[in-house]
A and B are shown apart, each in its own frame.
Chain A
Amino acid sequence: MSLEFLVASAIAVLVAGGIYLVLRARTFQVVLGLTLISYAINLFLFAIGRLVVDAPPLYAKVVTHHADPLPQALVLTAIVITFGMTALTVILSLRSFLEAGTDHVDGKPDASPDADAGARA
Chain B
Amino acid sequence: MALLALIFLPFAAAVLLGVTRHASRSAHVGIAAGASGAGLAILLAQAPAALAGMVPTIQIGWIPALGLDLSLWLDPLALLFAGLILAIGLLVVVYAHGYLGKEEPSARFFSFLMLFQGAMLGIALSRNVLLMLVFWELTSLSSFLLIGFWRDRADARQGARMALTVTGGGGLALIAGLVLLGKVAGSYDLSTILARGALVQASPLYPVILLLVLGGAFTKSAQFPFHFWLPYAMAAPTPVSAYLHSATMVKAGVFLLARLWPVLAGTEWWFGIVTSVGLATMLFGAGVALYRYDLKAILAYSTISQLGLMVMLLGFGTAAAVTAAVFHILNHAAFKAALFMHAGVIDHETGTRDIRRLGGLAAVMPLTATLGVLAAAAMAGLPPTGGFISKEMMLEETTHALLGGQHLLVPVLATIAALLSAAYSLRYAVWLHAGKRRTGEVAHPHDPGAAMLGPPALLAALALALGLAPMTLAAPLVAAATAAVTGTREPALHLALWHGINPALLMSVGAVAAAIVLLFRYSATARIVAYLPAPDAKNLFDRGMEMSVAALRHASDWLHRASLQRYLFVLFAVALLLGLDAAVRFALPAGTAPTTVASPIAVIAWAGLIAATVAVVAVDRRRFLALLFLGVIGLVMALAFVHLSAPDLALTQIAVEVVTIVLMLLALHLLPHHPPRLSGAGRRVRDAALGLAGGGGMGWLAWAIMTRPMRDGISRFHWENSHAGGGGDNVVNVTLVDFRAFDTLGEIIVLGIAGLAIFALLEPAARGIAGRRLREWRSSELFSSERHPMMFVMAARLLLPLVLLVGFYLFLRGHNQPGGGFVAALVFSIAILLQYLASGFDWTDERRRIGEHQLIGLGVLIAAATGLGSLLFGAPFLSSSFGHFHLPVIGDVELATAMLFDLGVAFVVVGAVTMALAQLTHVAQRAARQPPEERA
Q: Mark A23-45, 1 if CB is under 8 A from B, else 0.
A: 11111111110011001101110
Is B818 an interface residue when CB atoms closer than 8 A count as contact?
yes
Known: A53-B645, A76-B652. A24 touches B702 (CB 8 A): no
Q: Mark B177-198, 1 if CB is under 8 A from A, else 0.
A: 0000000000000000000000
Chain B residues in 8 Å Cβ range of A21: 616-617, 620
Residue of A nearest to B637 (CB): A39
Q: How far is the CA of A48 from the CA of B769 in the complex (A)?
A: 48
Is B247 an interface residue when CB atoms closer than 8 A count as contact?
no
Is B652 within 8 A of A7, CB to CB? Answer: no
Residue of A nearest to B729 (CB): A59
Is B678 within 8 A of A114, CB to CB? Answer: yes
Q: How far is the CA of A8 from the CA of B664 in the complex (A)?
A: 28
Known: A12-B695, A60-B729. A36 touches B678 (CB 8 A): no
Most buried by A among B595, B678, B706: B678
Is B568 within 8 A of A115, CB to CB? Answer: no
In angstroms, how far is the closest chain A Cβ from the Cβ of B927? Answer: 10
Tell which of B115-123, B274-282, B748-756 binds the partner: B748-756
Is A51 within 8 A of B706, CB to CB? Answer: yes
Is B699 within 8 A of A9, CB to CB? Answer: yes
Is A62 an interface residue when CB atoms closer than 8 A count as contact?
no
Is B754 within 8 A of A84, CB to CB? Answer: yes
Is A76 within 8 A of B736, CB to CB? Answer: yes
**Cβ-defined partner of A20 (8 Å) among B667, B676, B687, B729:** B687
Is B630 within 8 A of A6, CB to CB? Answer: no
Known: A53-B645, A113-B677. A39 touches B633 (CB 8 A): yes
Chain B residues in 8 Å Cβ range of A42: 637
* Size class of the contact patch on chain A: 35 or more
Residue of B nearest to A50 (CB): B710
In angstroms, how far is the closest chain B Cβ from the Cβ of A12? Answer: 3
In angstroms, how far is the closest chain B Cβ from the Cβ of A82? Answer: 7
Q: How far is the CA of A87 from the CA of B596 in the complex (A)?
A: 36
Is B652 within 8 A of A80, CB to CB? Answer: yes
Within 8 A of A (CB), among B550-572: 561-566, 568-569, 572
Is B603 within 8 A of A91, CB to CB? Answer: no
Q: Mark A82-114, 1 if CB is under 8 A from B, else 0.
A: 111111101111110111010111100010011
Chain A residues in 8 Å Cβ range of B676: 110, 113
Known: A36-B613, A83-B660. A67 touches B688 (CB 8 A): no
Is A10 within 8 A of B698, CB to CB? Answer: no
In angstroms, how far is the closest chain A Cβ from the Cβ of B719? Answer: 6
Q: How far is the CA of A15 from the CA of B640 in the complex (A)?
A: 17
Is A53 within 8 A of B718, CB to CB? Answer: no
Known: A2-B597, A70-B713. A84 touches B644 (CB 8 A): no
Is B680 within 8 A of A117, CB to CB? Answer: yes
Is B633 within 8 A of A69, CB to CB? Answer: no
**Cβ-defined partner of B698 (8 Å) among A15, A20, A22, A32:** A15
Q: How far is the CA of A82 from the CA of B649 in the complex (A)?
A: 13
Known: A53-B644, A90-B663, A94-B670. A120 touches B695 (CB 8 A): no
Residue of A nearest to B633 (CB): A39
Chain A residues packing against B (C-beta within 8 Å): 1-32, 35-36, 39-40, 42-44, 46-60, 66-70, 72-73, 75-77, 79-88, 90-95, 97-99, 101, 103-106, 110, 113-117, 119-120
Extra A-B contacts (13), CB below 8 Å, given A12-B702, A15-B698: A6-B606, A31-B664, A53-B645, A56-B647, A66-B645, A80-B652, A97-B672, A115-B678, A116-B565, A116-B678, A116-B683, A117-B679, A119-B561
